[in-house]
Structure 1
Amino acid sequence: MGDEDCEERERNKLGRCCTAPWCKVRYGTNGETSFFRIPTDPERCRKWIDYVNRPELAYHSPEHLHNNFRLCAYHFRDADYVSVGNHARLKKTAVPSVPPPADWTRKSVAHQQVSKPQPKGFDRGLEPEQILGVTNASGEMMFLIQWKGAEEADFVKASECNVRYPQMVISFYQKRLVFEY
């Protein structure tokens, strides 16, 4: 497993690393760097995601991002803080705005595709083949769907799948129900 894979796994462990891909600050590294949760307000949440240039995060709910991703204090300007007693707190309206290092920007522009995020779920226009699993990790019940003619499975809202493919949902649950007498 490469360093990048390991780094990405570590980055996603409940705020152990700053969410900004160019930032190497880890929680507890120096004991003085504050970390801030991504806001649950959808508009501000989107601005934070845009700032970190990680469009894949847009597929998660603001609540999921708030609970699982952090940005360190180095991405905010002095004007983004308000003094509360002898502590500085991030203003409720703060949006990260300190630009990434110039070398990261050049490197990322050269290696990144300039494209829209790929459609997910039913927006892909594919027929579902089978339901592989179910989760409630984001606070909403989601099915993991394998699509006909596609290698990549992805999550869709259970409520949407219940309406579009009720027989597939019933079949999924029937295979997993165990009655004890």
Structure 2
Amino acid sequence: MPNFCAAPNCTRKSMQSDLAFFRFPRDPARCQKWVENCRRADLEDKTPDQLNKHYRLCAKQLPISIFISLQSEKILIMISIFLNLLRLIL
């Protein structure tokens, strides 16, 4: 079953596009920002879990800063894990 982009006026489907599709975040604060930026009143009454399960945004709708911040978080987590393991060894 194809995913559809939840952005208004976007007709992209995952089966017809080479773009990645992203679920709404489960974190309530981040999810609320996505809903606000989506500018769709019908999404405002949905829970983060409902949005995460049933709605997607295509990569064209997301600013590059989201990907950069996610990569930065992953790198910081990896560094933290490495340092904790290093402490156990030493």
Tell me which interval the TM-score lies in, with the shorter structure as reference length.
Answer: 0.5 to 0.7
Where does residue 44 of structure 1 map in the other structure? 30
Q: Which has the larger radius of gyration?
A: 1
Q: Is the 8 A contact 2:3 2:21 kept in 1?
A: no
Q: State the distance in 1 between where 2:38 and 2:25 align.
A: 14
Q: State the distance in 2 between where 1:58 and 1:38 align.
A: 13
Please report the TM-score for the alignment, with normalisation by the length of structure 1.
0.36
- Distance verdict in 2 for CA 1:69–1:15, change over 3 Å: farther
Where does residue 11 of structure 2 map in the other structure? 24
Question: For the aligned residues, what is the CA RMSD?
Answer: 2.4
**Structure 1 segments of 4+ aligned residues over 3 angstroms from their partners:** none
- Distance verdict in 2 for CA 1:67–1:33, change over 3 Å: same
Alpha-carbon offset, residue 24 of structure 1: 1.4
Q: Is the 8 A contact 1:35 1:70 kept in 2?
A: yes
Question: Size of the alignment, in residue pairs?
Answer: 72
**Structure 2 residue aligned with 1:57, among 22, 30, 43?**
43
Alpha-carbon offset, residue 78 of structure 1: 2.7
**What are the ranges of 5 or more consecutive residues in structure 2 without an aligned counterpart?**
72-90
Q: Is the 8 A contact 1:35 1:71 kept in 2?
A: yes
Identity in percent: 31
Q: State the distance in 1 between where 2:13 and 2:51 align.
A: 17
Q: Is the 8 A contact 1:18 1:72 kept in 2?
A: yes
